[in-house]
Amino acid sequence: MVWFRKDKKPRQPLRQKLEIPADAWEKCEQCGHTDIREKFVRNLSVCPSCGYHRRIRAIEYVGILLDEGSVEEVEPDLRSADPLGFPDYPARLKKALGSAGDEDAILTVSGTLGETPVNLGVMDFAFMGGSMGSVVGEKIARLGQRSLERKYALVIISASGGARMQEGVLSLMQMAKAAAMLAQLSERRIPYVSILTNPTTGGVSASYAMLGDAIIAEPGAVIGFAGPRVIKQTLGQDLPEGFQTSEFLLDHGMVDCVVPRGELKRTVGQLLRHMSGQPAATGWAAS
């Protein structure tokens, strides 16, 4: 029974009225939420609706973590060679250099984080899937050496599918190389914070990514040694829901905390203060 009738007025489509150009919109690939690009940008490429953390470039993380105007690039001149003469490697490198930039799969910088000096390495998935070859290993070793010399904390943000196959066993050895450097930092009590983003798998996960004095993961990142596809193939069965995500690793005791992108700077700053004996910026200890 209808108690009263409401006449439906034809609705004006919002988009038409505002005349927003089509490319000003962004759609979240996880939940389908559509919003103006500006909102995604302000939210550091995290979906305003579901919180999905989109993959961002290395340079963007530098902007998120380090104080404006404090950043200086370290070792910008290292370039991948083709040590094995591997089929198609030079062509793939050339393509990556053209599309992703000169930094190879890691950008290394010095700067300050809330006024604390740090050396920061940020892997870039856009460069050949963030794969770790000789250049990545060498850049980490040199960044670590800088930390040793200046007693600056080290922060590495990982994003990698693993070792770079095209450099064969040399890329495998980069795992040992990075670990040997981190052992030196550890003995000198220089803090190292490892941040894991989507994805952190293979050789990178089994080296510096899992060796942090503190290990932080961004929400929803895939983290593990063997990739989910390989495991599924080996076992011939479906994987449990949420397997190998940041939250799964937190539950299994493999990371210290899961921290949204917007809170990374504050959290890393807090950890570094604790691990380098500095007073807290706020709170009772500072007064």
Answer whether 35's CB lies under 8 Å from 15's CB.
Answer: no
Q: Is 179 in the site for other proteins (CB under 8 A)?
A: yes
Q: Is 258 in the site for other proteins (CB under 8 A)?
A: no
In this complex, which beta carbon is closest to other proteins, that of residue 110 or of residue 134?
134
Q: Which of 97, 56, 80 is nearest to 165 (CA)?
A: 80
Size of the site for other proteins (CB under 8 A): 61
Q: Which of 161, 160, 275 is nearest to 213 (CA)?
A: 275
Q: Using the rule CB under 8 A, which residue among 20, 41, 183, 285 binds other proteins?
A: 183
Q: Which of 154, 157, 90 is nearest to 128 (CA)?
A: 90
Q: Is 171 in the site for other proteins (CB under 8 A)?
A: yes
Site string for other proteins, 1-40 (x = CB under 8 A): ----------------------------------------
Considering the complex, what minimum distance in angstroms separates the CB of residue 123 from other proteins?
Answer: 15
Pairing state between β 192-201 and 223-224: parallel
Q: What is the DSSP string of 190-233?
A: --EEEEEEEEEEHHHHTTGGG--SEEEE-TT-BEESS-HHHHHH
Stretch that binds other proteins, among 35-43, 50-58, 109-117, 218-226 (CB under 8 A): 218-226
Site string for other proteins, 83-112 (x = CB under 8 A): xx-xx-------------------------
In this complex, which beta carbon is closest to other proteins, that of residue 126 or of residue 182?
182
| Integer Cα distance of 129 and 200 in angstroms | 10
Site string for other proteins, 136-155 (x = CB under 8 A): -xx--x--------------
Q: Using the rule CB under 8 A, which residue among 7, 19, 72, 77 binds other proteins?
A: 77
Q: Is 80 in the site for other proteins (CB under 8 A)?
A: yes
Pairing state between β 106-113 and 72-73: antiparallel
String of b and e for 215-247 (b: at least 16 CB within 10 Å)?
bbbbbbbbbbbebeeeeeeeeeeeeeeeebbbe
Q: Where are the beta strands (DSSP E) in 103-191?
A: 106-113, 116-123, 153-160
Locate 129 and state its tokens.
């899937």
Considering the complex, what minimum distance in angstroms separates the CB of residue 236 from other proteins?
Answer: 12
Considering the complex, what minimum distance in angstroms separates the CB of residue 175 from other proteins?
Answer: 6
Q: Is 135 in the site for other proteins (CB under 8 A)?
A: yes
In this complex, which beta carbon is closest to other proteins, that of residue 184 or of residue 267?
184
Q: Is 198 in the site for other proteins (CB under 8 A)?
A: no
Q: Is 231 in the site for other proteins (CB under 8 A)?
A: yes
Locate 238 and state its tokens.
């479906």
Q: Is 210 in the site for other proteins (CB under 8 A)?
A: yes
Q: Is 174 in the site for other proteins (CB under 8 A)?
A: yes
For 50, 112, 237, 258, the CA distances from 215, given in Å and listed in that order, are 24, 20, 30, 9
Site residues, other proteins (CB under 8 A): 77-81, 83-84, 86-87, 133-135, 137-138, 141, 163, 165, 167-177, 179-184, 186-187, 202-203, 205-211, 223-226, 230-231, 233-235, 239-240, 243-244, 252-254
